[in-house]
Amino acid sequence: MWIGVVSLFPDMFDALTQQGVVGRAVEKQRIALEFWNPRDYATDRHRSVDDRPYGGGPGMLMKVDTLRAAIFAARERAQQATGLVPTVIYLSPQGRKLDQQGVQALASAGPLVVVAGRYEGIDERVVESDIDEEWSIGDYVLSGGELPAMVLIDAAARLIPGVLGHQDSAVEDSFNDGLLDCPHYTRPEIIDGRQVPDVLLSGNHAAIKRWRLKQSLGRTWQRRPDLLEGRPLDAEQRKLLNEFIEEHAL
Ligand SMILES: NC(=O)c1ccc(NCc2ccccc2)nc1
């Protein structure tokens, strides 16, 4: 997967590229991550990258000419590297809310150019002419689009085949098949008097698989019933959920 990043603070992305799952994926070249800094396109003496908003008001916007030059350079490189036209993504609180389905769509959308805004954002005409999709990681405002960009890149990278050591774990992750994850346990068998559920020590893999699905369904019902609204349950799942509800009826 090829991802270009337009950011005034490319070093922030070391948090993603220097370690962990994504770091290894970059090292193994399953992901190509390249950076373009608008400041490199500044031509004035002060190398300015921000500009004042028309109509006044507090704060600044990203300077149009340096931002566009960086976006164009990243887009050009994407086509040269992959032969495909990239999808240009902009992270902002005004974007479409990112969820696992959105991540899956982005992870299979071919090359991406991710634009991380700073200040109060970017000129609306640049959004209209150069941005394909605007996305938000949640209803809160951060000091820049870099952390949202890293969230998006990390979530998408985990879905690239071969990136996760154990491919199944991406599938069993929370929000896969739209359910919350089941509880997990590891050594020791007893912590402060709390034991591991017997079924997980039984070695009966069919019963374990059934128990885990039942817990996922039950927890989703308890904590995020909204996720069940858009999700039909087959007969087995309905049976397991009903069992869970009966066991947890107050
Ligand atoms: N919720 C998000 O995904 C998000 C994205 C960016 C951001 N801050 C940078 C910025 C501020 C205002 C306008 C455009 C970009 N904060 C939160």
With tokens 């087959």, the residue in question is: 234
> How does pLDDT run across 65-116, given as a tens digit for each residue?
999 999 999 999 999 999 999 999 999 999 999 999 999 999 999 999 999 9
Ligand-binding annotation for 138, yes or no, is yes
> How does pLDDT run across 214-249, given as a tens digit for each residue?
999 999 999 999 999 989 999 999 999 999 999 998
Residue 51 to residue 115: CA distance in whole angstroms: 17
Q: Is the CB of 102 under 6 A from ligand 1?
A: no
pTM listed for this prediction: 0.94
Tokens found for residue 30: 């399953």
What is the number of the ligand 1 atom nearest to the C-alpha of 135? 3
- 153-180 burial: b if 16+ Cβ within 10 Å, else e: bbbbbbbbeebbeeeeeeeeeebeebbb
Predicted-complex ipTM score: 0.99
Probe ligand 1: pick from 94, 141, 152, 154, max atoms within 8 Å of CB? 141
Ligand-binding annotation for 185, yes or no, is no
- 77-91 burial: b if 16+ Cβ within 10 Å, else e: bbeeeeeeebbbbbb
Ligand 1 geometric centre to CA of 149 (Å): 10
Per the document, the length of the chain is 250
What is the number of the ligand 1 atom nearest to the C-alpha of 136? 3
